[in-house]
Amino acid sequence: MTEIVVHGIAFSPYVRSVIMALQIKGVPYRVQLIELGAMPGGLGSAEHRQLHPFGRVPILDDGGFRIFETQAILRYLDARFPQAPLQPTEPQALGRMCQAIGILDCYMFSQSIRPIGAERVVKPALMGAAPDEAVVAGALPATAICISALERVLGSDPFLAGEALSMADLMIAPQLHLLSPVPEVRAMLEGTRLLAWFERMLAHPAMAATPPPAELGLPVSLRQLQAA
Ligand X SMILES: N[C@@H](CCC(=O)N[C@@H](CS)C(=O)NCC(=O)O)C(=O)O
| Residue 125 near residue 91 (C-beta atoms within 8 A) | no
Instruction: Note whether 12 binds ligand X by CB under 6 A.
Output: yes
Structure-derived torsion over alpha carbons of residues 5, 11, 15, 16, reported in degrees to the nearest 10: 100
14 binds ligand X (CB under 6 A): yes
Q: How far is the CB of 189 from ligand X (least distance, A)?
A: 20
Long-range Cβ contacts of 89-94 (<8 Å, 24+ apart): 90/162, 92/162, 93/161, 93/162, 93/163, 93/164, 93/166, 94/161
As a whole number of angstroms, the distance between CA 222 and CA 35 comes to: 31
Does position 70 interact with ligand X (CB under 6 A)? The reply is yes
211 binds ligand X (CB under 6 A): no
3-class secondary-structure state, position 67: strand
* Span near ligand X by CB under 6 A; candidates 54-62, 143-151, 158-166, 204-212: 54-62
Q: In the bound complex, what is the minimum distance in angstroms from residue 44's beta carbon to ligand X?
A: 6
Contact 146, 103 (CB under 8 A): yes
Cα–Cα dist 122/8, whole Å: 16
210 near ligand X, rule: CB under 6 A = no
Alpha carbon 126 to chain centroid distance?
Answer: 19
Contacts with ligand X by CB under 6 A: the residue count is 12
Contacts of 89 (CB under 8 A, 6+ apart): none
- Interface pick for ligand X out of 7, 25, 48, 56 (rule CB under 6 A): 56
Q: Which part of the chain contacts ligand X (CB under 6 A), choosing from 49-57, 91-99, 119-127, 185-193?
A: 49-57
Using the rule CB under 6 A, is 13 a contact of ligand X? yes
* Residue among 21, 17, 48, 46 nearest 33 (CA): 48
Beta carbon of residue 8, minimum distance to ligand X (angstroms, whole number): 8
Contact with ligand X (CB under 6 A) among 31, 43, 149, 164: 43
Tell me if 4 contacts ligand X by CB under 6 A.
no
181 interacts with ligand X by CB under 6 A: no
Pick 50 or 226: Cβ nearer ligand X: 50
In the complex, the smallest distance separating the C-beta of residue 89 from ligand X, rounded to whole angstroms, is 23
* DSSP-based three-state secondary structure for 131: coil
Judged by CB under 6 A, the residue of 76, 98, 105, 222 near ligand X is 105
**Positions in the binding site for ligand X (CB under 6 A):** 12-14, 43-44, 55-58, 69-70, 105
